[in-house]
Amino acid sequence: MAENQQQKKPAPTASAGKREEVIAKLKADGVWKSPLDRRKFITTAAAGWAIFAAAFAGLGSILAAFMAPRLDFTKAQKFRAGVPDEYGSNTVSEKYKNSEKVWICRTTDKIVAVSTVCTHLGCTPNWSENELKFKCPCHGSGFYGPRPGVEVGVNFEGPAPTPLPRYKIVVGDDGQLVVDKGTMFFKEKGEWGNAESYVPV
């Protein structure tokens, strides 16, 4: 029996001896990495990749949120704004300024729905009845109110680069004005002649 056990344990060969010698040398030089060390390295590397992948996925979702359109489709884009006769000639109604960010302006011949967002950096201008203009409190841009010889919302002072855009406005089946904030008209694109950018009166 003891003889059998001795047979199962082969005597170290010359090459095995050489290997031990090399390992001993590497250990002495401080560069030997045991198989356990290598496993630890692989585990650490895998964990590192997992963290990197998670961070990349997080960055991707932040980027996607950043690139997504800023329109809130969960909010209704259309609203009814009463009948045209509610608005006197050459007046500005601020009834929907806070709730819809829209001024309803009537000139001598049309009604328009004007955006209340300054085209400079997005502040909200104030309507000045005395000066007949929309004046932005942030950097001083001015936009015309309804008055003879000018177009409502055109920028004429301060840093605003373009006029205030207009929203689509039509008369609905019930005779009420319907403003659709899903469609905008820009003067600089030559869109203020579009039949849906105003209601003639």
| Residue number, 112 or 118, with CB nearest to ligand FES | 118
The nearest distance, CB 128 to ligand FES, in angstroms, is: 14
| Residue number, 161 or 172, with CB nearest to ligand FES | 161
The nearest distance, CB 155 to ligand FES, in angstroms, is: 9
Residue whose C-alpha is closest to residue 170's, from 100, 81, 108, 72 = 81
Alpha helices in the chain (DSSP H): 2-8, 14-29, 35-67, 97-100
Secondary structure (3-state) at 142: strand
| Residue number, 125 or 146, with CB nearest to ligand FES | 125
Q: Site for ligand FES (CB under 6 A): which residue of 79, 147, 154, 159?
A: 159
| Cβ-Cβ contacts under 8 Å for 111 (sequence gap 6 or more) | 84, 87, 104, 105, 169, 177, 198, 199, 201
Instruction: Extract the tokens encoding 171.
Output: 């008369």
The nearest distance, CB 44 to ligand FES, in angstroms, is: 52
Q: Are 127 and 153 spatial neighbours (Cβ–Cβ below 8 Å)? A: no
C-alpha distances in Å from residue 58, one per residue of 53, 66, 67 = 9, 12, 14
Residues 114-153 that bind ligand FES (CB under 6 A): 118, 120-123, 136, 138-141
| Cβ-Cβ contacts under 8 Å for 68 (sequence gap 6 or more) | none
The nearest distance, CB 131 to ligand FES, in angstroms, is: 16
| Residue number, 136 or 199, with CB nearest to ligand FES | 136
Residues composing the chain: 201
Of the ranges 66-74, 78-86, 146-154, 156-164, which one interacts with ligand FES (CB under 6 A)?
Answer: 156-164
| Residue number, 107 or 116, with CB nearest to ligand FES | 116
The nearest distance, CB 143 to ligand FES, in angstroms, is: 9
| Cβ-Cβ contacts under 8 Å for 195 (sequence gap 6 or more) | none
| Residue number, 12 or 140, with CB nearest to ligand FES | 140
The nearest distance, CB 51 to ligand FES, in angstroms, is: 42
- List contacts with ligand FES (CB under 6 A): 118, 120-123, 136, 138-141, 158-160
